[in-house]
């Protein structure tokens, strides 16, 4: 079980972030949705910023456009997750390299695929 922040969480059932939140919860993870627009997603309080989360986060899974990542780059570093997953379409080489320099494990992958093949949990991953 991991503590997972979903950056770009959504109440829209057609969005991959929404589908990932359902799967994460079903697999026993503790989820922290992060959305600028939502107050609650799937019955969970939504945070408007990563910095509002007052728990240690194992993984941040990213579902925002890479053009917006520069605005949250320092928030990711301040949060100090063990890992940040950049889902397809969210990748930013600049931000990914910055996180790596700060000792955060970076992964380009689809959270839904990792969950479906039981490869999501980060335990034992080299930093």
For residues 54 and 105, give the distance between their C-alpha atoms in angstroms, rounded to a whole number: 21
Domain parsing of the chain, residue ranges: 3-116
* pTM for this predicted structure: 0.93
Q: What is the CA radius of gyration of the chain?
A: 13
Write the pLDDT tens digit of every residue in 19-76: 999 999 999 999 999 999 999 999 999 999 999 999 999 999 999 999 999 999 999 9
Is the pLDDT at 122 greater than 80? The verdict is: no
Q: What is the mean pLDDT of residues 81-86?
A: 97
Return all residues near 27 (Cβ < 8 A) that are at least 6 apart: 115, 120
What is the percent of the chain with per-residue pLDDT over 70, rounded to a whole number? 95
**How does the average pLDDT of the chain come out, rounded?**
94
Architecture of domain 3-116: 3-Layer(aba) Sandwich (3.40)
């Amino acid at each position: 079980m991991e503590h997972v922040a979903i950056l770009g969480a959504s109440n829209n059932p057609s969005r991959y972030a929404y589908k990932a939140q359902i799967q994460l919860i079903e697999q026993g993870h503790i989820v922290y949705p992060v959305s600028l627009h939502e107050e609650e997603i799937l019955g969970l309080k939504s945070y408007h910023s990563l910095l509002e989360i007052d728990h240690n986060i194992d993984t941040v899974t990213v579902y925002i456009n890479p053009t917006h990542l520069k605005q949250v780059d320092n928030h990711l570093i301040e949060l100090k997750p063990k890992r940040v997953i950049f889902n397809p379409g969210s990748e930013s080489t600049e931000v990914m390299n910055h996180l790596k320099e700060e000792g955060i494990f970076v992964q380009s992958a689809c959270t839904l695929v990792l969950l479906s093949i039981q490869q999501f949990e980060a335990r034992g991953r080299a930093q």
